[in-house]
Structure 1
Amino acid sequence: MENRIPSLNWLRVFEAAARTESFARAAAQLHMSPAAVSQQVRALEERLGTPLFVRQAQSVRLTEAGRAYLPPVQQALMTLESATDVLFGASRGQGLYVQSVLIFAHGILAQGIADFETRHPDVSLMLSTGNSASDFHHGFTDLKIIFGNPHAYGAESDRIMGECLVPVAPPEIVAQIAQPSDFLKFPLIEVGTHRSGWVQVLEELRVMPGRRQMVHADSTVMAMAMSRAGRGIALARSPASDLDVSAGGLTPCLPEFSVQGSEAYHLVYDSLRGLRPPARQFRIWLLDWVAAQGWP
């Protein structure tokens, strides 16, 4: 299969020409001749099989395809520039790459990153998120924050915290839940990738499953979005989902009821001894900071 990824230099020239709307101005910025800019843009267009610019007398403007292509090209160039600076520039050795499941990054890390940065201003943290297991098996990271079995992601790990399952829904649905059996009147939104779910919750409530209607989502974030839209009752996973619950106007269906989940969040790495200094600093900070919050 032919590799369709164009030359990096072609992309740099395309970005400059698109940003300045002029081959001449792009040439001045890149220390090239306008003819060379035009030639490289033409080569890129031929490689992609579609025109990216409409040529005018004193300027150029993007075609529809060019407008669609520009944002991902700019993002890719920025990411490459940032990573190069972190690894090989003035801050070399202090770059820290952390990958986290989305709900933990959004609901937990977002609250504490400012504290880490204040304590370690010399560390440049680059945080990425994932959801499926395959997301965590590509590319380099110093540390991974995963949910579930840590041994599937690395040789060594630390338990960060657990979770509590709480049925939540919009107020108009909550008002109709007077007793546990009322859950069966509504679709129950299940996240299939978790071992702990509605089966465990219904068992704890001593509700016979009966003819329950199950609706499936690929993540807790998606499950709560579906519940906000009136699709059914979701399981919040406190404390990681607390922000999404409050922001979405969802409320617990049965006051004071929750079920301890059977899985936990873990910080995963290949070797504690082999961690680079910034990763060691982040590990110590994260475990201490979570413990100070009193989370399970």
Structure 2
Amino acid sequence: MPVRPDVRFPSIEGLRAFEAAARLGTFERAADELSVTASAVSKRVAAVEELVGALLFSRSGKTLVPTPAGREYLEQVRAALGLLAAMPLHRRAVQRMTRLRVCAPPTFARQILVPALDGFVAEHPDVELEIVLSVPYLDAASADVDVEIRHGGPQHHGGDVLIRDVLLPMAAPALLAQTGPLTRPADLQRLRLLRTPLEPWTQWFAAAGLDWPEPARGARLVDLGLLLEAAVCGQGVALGRPSLARQWLRSGALVALFDVAPPSRTHYFLAPQPASLSETARDVRAAFENWLRAVCAGVEREAAELVSGAP
């Protein structure tokens, strides 16, 4: 809502002086609370009175008593100051924090980053992390971020690979119970193969010795998390990354098929960012990136253990 041009606002210092004087009863007590002189409090209150065109206090000796106009104005001032005080950015503790804005693909954020985030927060309580999601399948840098995790070919961007994945077909046990045992890769022709442009099947087909074209039917899911969710729901077989499917592989909601697991040609990686940060912020970014590398190394080990018993 635009502010009318004829509206004049008192200073925040004036409103705080008025509120403190009304609450504490004297300019001297208000001055002690605000760490200024009593004369300064008196002048600030006088400036507010001049602006609003009304006396706000009746003075009886040193004691200040709000006038009827002052009592009415006090309620409005307290409400306004309360709204301003409730804003986190106005608090000194928040202002002293170092902010770090991290952008990541949705599935990486949900399956890898966020579950481990408590560890970084506990080690760095003075860092305010803001996690934002990138748009899958768009090869464009995100604006105004300090750390960016991307999915694709790091060799084209000078990126630092976080996880080296393999690709495995995965399916829900209920779906496999309906179709019968799968003893060789060619048995996949009996099942629906879920599709995503982020993880084409042709690489896995070649590794399995199958001269098959890319599946051409069914919905295309432009998100690796949605692909795995569809597989969990029994809608077909997903070509998935064990690092992202850990929770479903652990619970048995998904089963890895066959022992053909070619390395993925694309990776999650740290994209290089401009150095336009303060020295403190650069140190925080380096600490976060090192922490994330350690998290991803653990995820990679866990994923390898989960699929080591795949048929």
The normalised TM-score by structure 2 is 0.59
Once residues 218 and 202 of structure 1 are traced to their aligned partners in structure 2, the CA distance between those partners, rounded to angstroms, is 20
- The equivalent of 1:172 in structure 2 is 174
Determine which of 237, 242, 247 is the counterpart of 1:243.
Answer: 247
Q: Secondary structure at the match of 1:206?
A: coil
**What per-residue deviation string (whole Å, max 9, x for no partner) do you get for residues 95-134 of structure 1?**
1110111111111113321221222122111112223255
How many percent identity over aligned positions?
20
Contact 2:207 2:260 in 1 (8 A): no
With over 3 angstroms needed to count, the CA separation of the structure-2 counterparts of 1:249 and 1:138, relative to structure 1, is same
Determine which of 259, 267, 272 is the counterpart of 1:269.
Answer: 272
With over 3 angstroms needed to count, the CA separation of the structure-2 counterparts of 1:164 and 1:151, relative to structure 1, is closer
- The equivalent of 1:148 in structure 2 is 152
Contact 1:184 1:213 in 2 (8 A): no
Does 2:213 correspond to 1:218? Answer: no
**What per-residue deviation string (whole Å, max 9, x for no partner) do you get for residues 157-213 of structure 1?**
32211211111112133343232111112221121034xx31111111112317955
Once residues 7 and 167 of structure 1 are traced to their aligned partners in structure 2, the CA distance between those partners, rounded to angstroms, is 57
With over 3 angstroms needed to count, the CA separation of the structure-2 counterparts of 1:7 and 1:162, relative to structure 1, is farther
Q: Secondary structure at the match of 2:133?
A: strand
Once residues 138 and 255 of structure 2 are traced to their aligned partners in structure 1, the CA distance between those partners, rounded to angstroms, is 33
User: 1:118 is matched by which residue type in structure 2?
Assistant: A
Contact 2:162 2:269 in 1 (8 A): yes
With over 3 angstroms needed to count, the CA separation of the structure-2 counterparts of 1:189 and 1:85, relative to structure 1, is farther
Contact 1:188 1:213 in 2 (8 A): no
Shift of 1:143: 0.5
- For structure 1, the residue ranges without an aligned partner over 5 or more in a row are 1-5, 9-25, 33-80
The normalised TM-score by structure 1 is 0.62
Once residues 289 and 134 of structure 2 are traced to their aligned partners in structure 1, the CA distance between those partners, rounded to angstroms, is 19
User: 2:210 is matched by which residue type in structure 1?
Assistant: V
- The equivalent of 1:99 in structure 2 is 103
- For structure 2, the residue ranges without an aligned partner over 5 or more in a row are 4-74, 82-86, 305-311
Larger-Rg structure: 2
- The equivalent of 1:284 in structure 2 is 290
**What per-residue deviation string (whole Å, max 9, x for no partner) do you get for residues 34-74 of structure 1?**
xxxxxxxxxxxxxxxxxxxxxxxxxxxxxxxxxxxxxxxxx
Shift of 1:144: 0.5
Once residues 139 and 108 of structure 2 are traced to their aligned partners in structure 1, the CA distance between those partners, rounded to angstroms, is 15
**How many residues end up aligned between the 2 structures?**
220
